[in-house]
Amino acid sequence: MNTLLSSLATGLGQGAVYALIAVSFVIIYRATGVLNFAQPALLILGTFVTSVAATQMGLPFAVSALLAMIVVGLLSVGIERVAIRPMIGRPPFSAALVTVGLFIALLVVAFRLFDSKPRTVGDPWQLASVCLGGETTESFGVTGCSGGVQIYENAIARFVISLVVIGLLGWWLTRSKIGLAMRATSLDQETALAQGVSVGRMFSISWAIGGSLAALAGALLGANGSVVQATDALFALVALPAIIIGGLDSLKGAVLGGLIVGIAMALTKTYQPQFAPWLGTNFDNVVPYLLMIVVLLVRPYGIYGTREVQRV
């Protein structure tokens, strides 16, 4: 039971980061109708900016992450204005192909700017953990938990930070004038224009938010002391099954899908080597896509996705 609870805690921490990435996809998709495949590159750029600020400039992790959000958010706005705005009125598939090209170009930029070497953002929580229902032990400088559930502080921090940011974003979208304008734009761009909403401005704001969230997810990705390199941008692609499971146009679905994926991967990583070793190593990376297929068979629009009805 303790192993199960510990795995669930780890999965919730990781799933919250997936939820953060999934929300960054959904924010842009709802506003522009474009599935932005450049998000993984924005995520890794956020990690690298955080790394430079934390390890080379000596800034605290929180300040470094905030700086990365600002830098990547501004970069995201520039990308939208230069590469995506001219695609308005074109088929969504064309704009999606442009974002694939942006993904490749931004990865090349990441390699060039940051010397294409592995980096770390530091280890703000190190291996500190909380022992629930047991006694804290220490051996050779490593803290353990005897007779209880050991939960690492980095998992708690990831979960709390991600959900607080998503919660504040949801509150802002429902309470502020800009948030209401963004929601109106996502529902019907022509009607929003008729009501005096600057659709272009809403596009820029949505890309700024999406880029900032991706940068924060990148900072949290490397916040457990692990080494991060540009190829880890593929980490963000796990968010695609999450948003499809939850619903491509639903913020609530993105959060739920991210948590489901995180928990499923953590439980698989814990129990699959014991009960199904014949599936091979790293099978937990396959689980999100299997879940996605199952959900699509039952609910083609996802758990909270908007059902589209076409009459012929």
**Ramachandran sector of residue 253 (left: φ over 0; alpha: ψ -120 to 50; beta: rest):** alpha
How would you write the pLDDT of the chain (312 residues) with one tens digit per residue? 778 888 898 899 999 999 999 999 999 888 887 888 889 889 988 988 998 898 888 889 899 999 999 999 999 999 989 888 887 767 777 888 889 899 888 888 887 777 666 777 777 776 677 777 777 776 666 666 777 778 888 888 999 999 999 999 989 988 888 888 887 877 777 777 787 888 888 889 999 999 999 999 989 988 876 777 766 777 777 888 999 999 888 889 999 999 999 999 999 999 998 888 888 888 888 999 999 999 989 888 888 877 765 554
Q: What is the DSSP letter of 82?
A: I
Q: Of 300, 293, 303, nearest to 247 (Cα)? A: 303
Give dist(CA 259, CA 264) in Å, integer. Answer: 8
Contact 270, 22 (CB under 8 A): no
Q: Which two tokens stand for residue 203?
A: 């596009």
pTM comes to 0.90
